Structure 1
Amino acid sequence: MRVLRLTLAALAVGAAFMQPARAGLFEDDEARKAILELRNKVQANEDAAKQRSDQLNAVIQEQLQPLRRSLLDLNGQIDALRAEIAKLRGQNEQLARDLADTQRKLTDQSQSVEARLKPLEPQKVSLDGREFQVSPDERNQYEAAIGLVRRGEFADAVAALNAFLKRYSASGYTDSVRFWLGNAQYGKRDYKDAIATFKGFIAGNPDHPRAAEALLALANCQIELKDNKSARRSLEDLIKAYPSTEAAQAAKERLRAIK
């Protein structure tokens, strides 16, 4: 009995020592379980977040895809526009060069035409106190005829002066041509023709600067034809009409010489 009691007492003591150990083991299991549950929740949250992130990325990628295509198309259009602009710039530069070449050619042609037309343009001439316009050919023909008179080639001069009057009947040179024609006829000794020419010149141009000279030449022609009466009358008319001229002084001397 005593042994039984001792045994029960020992069991009771053992049980007393065993009770705290079981409680500690139970608490460790609960902590592990809580930690595992917490880990699972964290993992689940991470998985859910990852899933949402993947879904969001997929949505963003899906939405960005058209934008990327649009950007690519826009870049392609920009590149095409740049190429077109470069092409147009090159064309403009070429057009500018062509225009400059054309303008230079037109300027050269214009200057060439002006150079060709200039000899054909009317020219202002001052002769015997009068100014008038003549063509270059008109002036050349007149000067050539007067040159013949001055060189004493009277036959050719008469032909040239008559040809001038026929071609340029309304020329400003006409009066001068008639005066020199009379002198050429006188030099050729065609006195009657010279008288007719001088009379026509004087009658049509009594105020001409060479009218006095023409009257003196007319008197000389009459003297050559031995028509002293007519010569005296011409000299007297000269002295009366143009008293202050050198021709009038010469007329006075001629009058004294005429018998």
Structure 2
Amino acid sequence: MKPRLAWRQLVLAAALVSATAGANAALFEDEEARRAILDLRQRVETMRQRSTEDSEQLRRSLLDLQTQIEAMRGELQRMTGKNEELTKALSDLQQKQTEAAKAAGPSSVNVDGREFNADPKEKADFDAALGIFRAGQFAQAQTSFADFVKRYPQSGYTPSALFWLGNAQYATRNYNEAIANFRSMLSLAPDHAKAPEAVLSIANCQIELKDMKGARRTLEDLSKAYPNSEAAAAGKERLARLK
């Protein structure tokens, strides 16, 4: 074979191999592109399905929430109606009690050894004030007893109310006011069962006010006016410590 012919054949073979390789490469690239497109389509479809499912779930959640809101609204209306019924029932009961108290009229009561007639409302107000004092709510008790004395100036409870008013004022350190009310109580009912305690309480207030001279005089008066009382015995001990 001639050298020139052999060279031509070699060039043709190389070109054929190159063309074949190029075609195979192009075919490979088309297949990859097709697969990528299919994968992208699959992802889009999956996202669309998920979006549809999420929308349906959201719709169901909103419906459930609306149902719950309606149920709560109905329960609130029911409770509001029940509260109105209870309020009316309480008002009716209070009205009946007031009417019953008016119909009952005054009744005989015995307080601190003193017997007298009192209206049911009067008795209830005094007992309520005393209950507040015994609960240790002295500021509120002070207000309650002061109001009672103003509301029922002629009441048989007044001496006792003044006594407890003075004690409430002593507890809240209103010593001058306490002394004034203890003295009012003694002026109104010097033979009251709690009169000796009232005198001793005046002395205690004077001691708190640093009025030692006044306290001594009060304690001496206590021993003279109520010599056999427990308050007088306590007063003597207190007087001995003041000297």
Q: Is this a same-fold pair by TM over 0.5? A: yes
Return the alpha-carbon distance in structure 2 between the equivalents of residues 173 and 236 of structure 1: 28
Match for residue 119 of structure 1 among 89, 95, 101: 101
- 1:155 matched residue in structure 2: 139
The Cα shift of 1:242 comes to 0.5
**Which residue does the alignment assign to 2:130?**
146
- The amino acid across from 1:196 in the alignment is A
- Superposed, 1:79-90 pairs within 5 Å as none
**Number of residue equivalences:** 146
For 1:197, the equivalent position in structure 2 comes to: 181
The letter for the 1-side match of 2:101 is P
Tell me the equivalent position of 2:191.
207
Is the CA contact (8 Å cut-off) linking 1:152 and 1:187 kept in structure 2? Answer: no
Partner of 2:237: 253
| TM superposition shift of 1:169 | 1.0
2: distance between equivalents of 1:115 and 1:149? 25
Q: In the alignment, what sits opposite 1:167?
A: 151
CA shift digits 1:156-210 (9 cap, x unpaired): 0111111111111111111110011000100111001001111121122221111
Matched, 1:136 2:115: no
Match runs of 1:235-254 below 5 Å: 235-254=219-238
| Aligned counterpart, 2:215 | 231
Paired AA for residue 223 in structure 2: I
Unaligned runs of 5+ residues in structure 2 are: 1-95
2:201 is matched with 217
**Any conservation in 2 of the 1:191–1:225 contact (CA below 8 Å)?**
yes
Worse-superposed segment, 202-211 or 187-196: 202-211
Report the residue type matching 1:192 in the other structure. N
Contact between 1:212 and 1:247, CA under 8 Å: does it hold in 2?
yes
For residue 183 of structure 1, what is the aligned residue in structure 2? Answer: 167
Describe how 1:101-116 pairs up with structure 2 within 5 A.
Answer: none
Q: Please identify the structure whose Cα radius of gyration is greater.
A: 1
8 Å CA contact retained: 1:161, 1:181: yes
Rounded Cα–Cα distance in structure 1 between residues aligned with 2:135 and 2:242: 30
Aligned-pair identity in percent equals 53
Deviations 1:43-71 (A, max 9, x none): xxxxxxxxxxxxxxxxxxxxxxxxxxxxx
**What amino acid is aligned across from residue 212 of structure 1 in structure 2?**
P
What is the TM-score normalised by the length of structure 1?
A: 0.54
User: Unmatched 5+ residue regions in structure 1?
Assistant: 1-113
Matched residues in 1 for 2:165 and 2:122: separation?
16
Aligned letter for 1:156? Answer: Q
C-alpha separation between the residues in 2 aligned to 1:117 and 1:134? 16
- TM-score, normalised to structure 2, is 0.57
CA deviation profile, 1:223-250 (whole Å, cap 9, x unmatched): 1111111001000000011110000100
Q: Cα offset for 1:115?
A: 8.6
Query: Which residue identity lines up with residue 109 of structure 2 in the other structure?
Result: V
One-letter code aligned to 1:187: A
> How far apart, in 2, do the equivalents of 1:210 and 1:249 lie?
15
- CA distance in structure 1 between the partners assigned to 2:116 and 2:187 by the alignment: 22
Q: Which amino acid aligns with 1:161?
A: F
